[in-house]
Every structure is written in structure tokens, then in C-alpha cells.
Amino acid sequence: MKIHTCAHLMTLSALLAVGCHSPVDDAGSTVPEACEATPPVVAPQKTDILFVIDNSSSMLEEQQGIATELPAFLAAFKAGSGVAQEFRVGVITTSVYQRLTVGDGADNIRSYPDQEGRLQPVKDEAGQPTAERFIDSSDPLLLDKFQRLVAQGTQGSGQETPFEAVRLAVDSPLTRQALEEGGNAGFLRDGARLLVVVVSDEEDCSSTVRPPPVALGQDPAVDACSAQADKLTSVEEYYRIFQNLHDGRGASREVLWATIGPVSLTDKRAEAVTEVSGGKTYVRNVDCPTSYGPGYRQSALAQAFDSTRANLDSICKSNYQQTLVDIAELATVAQSVDVVNLPDPRLAVVYVTRADASVQTCTVANGDIRYEPSGDDRSARLFFLGPCLRRVGDTKVEVKVLCAG
């Protein structure tokens, strides 16, 4: 049996027929029967942006550095790779719990009930918290409020748990609890993508288990979170959780992840080294002198979302402008497309033309793309994954169907 490509199914600019059947004939079709002089209205791309700010004692300069470069981030996001953007921003912290083994060997476990994945209040010009928990892109004071919002202070947990904080933030019960009751209801919108930006100088120590299974010690030469990583909830499990988020209509939520974390300045690698300072030995990430502990888990989750590590950079940079611009540009490229008239997702082949004119071939069977069937009020969708993630500069995306014959 010969297998060949029989028809275009979809491009970014048009929906075409499969075989000889016209989508105009389908019930509920919005494809016009004749050319129209008025071009169709393209809805803005909706993105809910969640910054996860490390508010431990070592993060003051880094928070200030992020706030300073937010004008460039917002400008790049609004430019949107030529596509109108409608977004909102909220901030949570890396503080969920802290388990510390003290001198006598006893455990000291602390919780952070005002944080733990909860959207933090936007502060006014006097630095006082308001009732606002997120800021829409249409807000004329967006930049000022955003800069105040990323300044989360340095009184948080020394056991950073960004993965767990995000899990709590985007799932029930917080997503069903009203803002005025300390929940996050209303932040995540139906049909909106979620962009997570983690900013931290330490390794992730996340677990879904309570009490937390890893305890910090008092020896700075030992990073308990990497040394006992096998006790933590795996990176793979957190990735699975975030890839399986759905909106209120039951549609899969497109999730993008970026990390500014404890990795090497020169090549973004995660690797432990020790440094002696003031008579004490400290464990750090190689080529990242202000880090604490190697960013193995931080790097691994970023790479699970993007194997090229374009979404990963070092917290040890002296300036975050280009890092934030790169994140904004990556985030404005949609990683899913709507499809119609797809008879069998196993027959779909997606061709992505890169900036260098090379063409990447992606299929559901190979795990490069993921198919979500249509619902009552939404089209079927294909999600780009792994090596087939769309990139800034891509020139064309085609979806075709393989036919036997």
C-alpha cells in the first residue's frame, strides 16, 4: 500500500478542504462561499502571564534587576511578532513551606499561608497592598504596578518550591476561590495561554507531599534539595501536570515555561561546584557565583518544555533585558493551531518551515504534536511539542493528511 500526502488540511492563513469535500458544506461552517471584500477580524492572542518570584533572603538585587527591565519585556510582548496581544500579569512567590533541621536534630516546619500559590496583592505608590491581584494589559498604569509587584521582598522561604507554587496557583481549590477570599479565581481565562516565568537563584525543592520530605540542614556545603532529589515529586510529574491543564470549557490550556535560574552564565548548564568564602564552604552552580545549589531540576523542567533551552537563562546575569525580551518573543509565538475536517489525527503531518528554510516534519505518532478533539464550542487543536515547537522567525506551518492509495 502506498502512503502519500493527499491534501493540505490547514495553514496559518487559510483552512482548505480535505479531498474533494468542501468545509463550506459542513454544518456551522464559517468559511465563506465567495470572496469577500472585508477581511476577517483576527482576535488578539490571549495570554495569562504568571511570574514566580523567589523572595528568599538573597534575592533583593535580582528582583530589582527584573523590575528595571520590565519596560523592554512589555514592549516586546505588545509587539507580539505582528499579532495583537491581550494579556494580564500576576505574581506568586516560591514560598510554600520550609522544613529545617535545627541543631538538636529536631524538625522545624513552617508554612506560608498568605502565599502558597496565591496571587500577591498589587501595591499602591505608598507600598500598601490593594485589592488587585493581577493587572490587565489595557491598564494605563501597567508598568508601574508590575514593577511594584515583582518586588516581593526577602522574607520568604529559604526552601524554594516554584513548581509546587505554580501547581497550587493553577489548580483547585485556589482557581475556584474568589480573589477577596485569598484565591485566584478569574485570573486564568478560557481560551488563554499560560506563560510561567520563574525567577530564582536556588534549586527547586518541590513536593506535593506534606509534610515536605526533604529538610534543609545548616551546612552550606550541602544542597539538600539536589542531594535528596529522589524524595521530591519528579520533574516529569510536574511537567505532566502542567501539560494536562484545562480551561473552564474543558479545552487543553497551552502552557509555556521560562526560567531565569541557577545555571551557568556561559552555556546554561547545571552543575554543582563548591566555593570557600569566609572560612565556610558553599555549594553553587558552576559559573554562577550568586547561586545556591545546582539548578538541575530548574533546568530539567525548562528543557522539558523546550529542548533547545531558549527558554532558560542564568540568574547570575548582570542585566536581564535581553533575557526578558527573548522570553516575550518566544511567548508570542502560538504553540497550537485549530484544525477542521481532520478525519483521523494519526494521519496528520505538520510541516514547519524554519527561518533558515529547513522544513521540520512532525506527527502525532512520533509525539511531536498532540491532538485535542473538538468540543461543543471549540475546534479541534494540534499542540506543538519538543523539537517541533514553533520558533521566532518560522515562515510557514502546513498541516496535511496522509492518505492511502
pLDDT tens for residues 189-244? 999 999 999 999 999 999 999 999 999 999 999 999 999 999 999 999 999 999 99
pLDDT tens for residues 116-126? 999 999 999 99
Q: Does 46 have pLDDT greater than 70?
A: yes
Give start-end residues of each CATH 3.40.50.410 domain in the chain: 45-331
pLDDT of residue 142: 98
Q: Does 173 have pLDDT greater than 90?
A: yes
How would residue 402 be classed by pLDDT, with cut points 50, 70 and 90? confident
pTM for this predicted structure: 0.88
pLDDT of residue 34: 44
Q: Does 405 have pLDDT greater than 80?
A: no
- Closest by alpha carbon to 260, among 66, 79, 58? 66
pLDDT of residue 323: 99
- Which grid coordinates are listed for 139? 491598564
pLDDT tens for residues 302-325? 999 999 999 999 999 999 999 999
**136-148: average pLDDT:** 98
Q: Are 214 and 99 in contact (CB under 8 A)?
A: yes
Q: How many other C-beta atoms can be found within 10 angstroms of the C-beta atom of residue 54?
A: 28
What percent of the chain has a predicted confidence (pLDDT) above 90? 77
How would residue 12 be classed by pLDDT, with cut points 50, 70 and 90? very low
- CATH number (3.40.50.410, 3.40.190.80, 3.40.47.10, 3.30.1330.10) of 45-331 reads 3.40.50.410
Q: Does 7 have pLDDT greater than 60?
A: no
Among the ranges given (71-75, 80-84, 222-226, 368-372), the one the predictor scored with the smallest mean pLDDT: 80-84
Backbone angles phi, psi at 148, to 5 degrees: -70, -30
pLDDT of residue 5: 52
pLDDT of residue 31: 43
Rounded to whole angstroms, the Cα distance separating 361 from 364 reads: 11
pLDDT of residue 1: 43
pLDDT of residue 344: 86
pLDDT of residue 19: 35
- Which grid coordinates are listed for 348? 496528520
| Mean per-residue pLDDT over the chain, rounded | 90
pLDDT tens for residues 20-38? 333 434 444 444 444 444 5
pLDDT of residue 41: 56
pLDDT of residue 27: 45
pLDDT tens for residues 333-387? 989 888 887 888 888 899 999 999 999 999 998 999 999 998 877 888 899 998 9
How would residue 14 be classed by pLDDT, with cut points 50, 70 and 90? very low
Furthest-apart CA pair in the chain: how many Å?
81
- Closest by alpha carbon to 300, among 311, 287, 286, 288? 311
Radius of gyration of the chain from Cα atoms?
A: 23
What percent of the chain has a predicted confidence (pLDDT) above 70? 89
- Closest by alpha carbon to 382, among 366, 394, 364? 364
**179-184: average pLDDT:** 97
